[in-house]
Amino acid sequence: MSKLEYEVRKTLDNILNYTEHQMADSLLVVDRDSTTLVFALGDSWTWGDSLSDRKNEIYGKLISDHYDADFVNLGCRGYSNSWILMCGIKLLETLQAIDQYEKIYILITLTENGRDIATTKSFDLDKWIYDSKLVFTNDIYQRILDYIEEYWTNQIKEMVSLRDDRFSFFIGQNFVWHGMYEKLTDLSPKIVTSNYNWIEVIGDHCGLSRPTRTNLVTGWIFDQVDLINTSQPNITITDLSVYQEYITPFIEKAILVNKWLDESPMNYKKASKHPNRDAHRLWANHIIEKLYLLDDTKLETGNR
């Protein structure tokens, strides 16, 4: 086992109490003894679900090939952004201490909201509701989802603020679009974002109309959001008609996105319609273009 893999595994095991099963399922490390490192973070789309040779076809590996770089891929299938970013913060502390790297690219592909509601280890919704003295009002669901996105924003800002000048960040989105995304542009020149999410990049390449933008897409995610009504000890919700009125437009948008994914030639037609290997190549090229722009900006501003 290389030093890189050993340090990454030790961090996940000792600090996050990652089980061996989670480690084997989520983590991929490629050590080329390079002075450049590519570290990709995300959910099942980053993991490479539905790919036949995922270890070589995932977008992060393709980007590491481009830079002839060492590679760490942490793809947490079905997990929330807050969990993924929590792991990222801990791992970046480890990676910063490895002196061999002259350049480190951090690639984060965000997924949908709502998953965080049931992941108390990375996001304690009950505590926030209690501390903020949140009570039932008609905007309670939007306030909770907005706060979750604010929490991610702060996690990303923590990741960026604590890193040295070797680090460059790309922040993208898979099949969703989040309101907090625009707040990240303030972190330039350490960070670059994209005006398009992954499926919009696919749509433009294939000549399809762009899909509807929304932040809740997969069917099971609506069960997660519904937990606000049934599992919060610090608020009492009695009028579920408010919830039905709030959630219906999100369901309608999710249906449209899933219909678009069914029609996309670069997405599989099962599970959450994961991208195929051509779509991974497309996303990799899109990120590489953004990283070149980021590196040029850093050179112009004297930060590298």
Q: Can you give the pLDDT at residue 22?
A: 67
Domain ranges of the chain: 3-300
Q: Can you give the pLDDT at residue 21?
A: 65
Q: Taking a C-beta distance cutoff of 8 angstroms, is the pair 142, 113 a contact? A: no
Residue 167, φ and ψ in degrees, nearest 5? -90, 135
CA angle 232–236–239, rounded 5-degree value: 120
CATH of segment(s) 3-300: 3.40.50.1110
User: Once rounded to an integer, what is the mean pLDDT over residues 54-81?
Assistant: 96
Query: How far is the C-alpha of 264 from the C-alpha of 286, rounded, in Å?
Result: 18
Q: Is the pLDDT of residue 271 over 60?
A: yes
Q: Taking a C-beta distance cutoff of 8 angstroms, is the pair 214, 205 a contact? A: no
Q: pLDDT tens, 164-207?
A: 889 999 999 999 999 888 788 777 678 999 999 999 999 999 99
pTM: 0.93
Mean pLDDT in the chain?
Answer: 90
Q: pLDDT tens, 227-260?
A: 999 888 878 887 889 999 999 999 999 999 999 9
Q: Which residues contact 252 (CB under 8 A, 6 or more apart)?
A: none
User: Once rounded to an integer, what is the mean pLDDT over residues 118-127?
Assistant: 86
Give residue 297's pLDDT band: very low, low, confident or very high (50, 70, 90): low
Q: Is the pLDDT of residue 298 over 60?
A: no
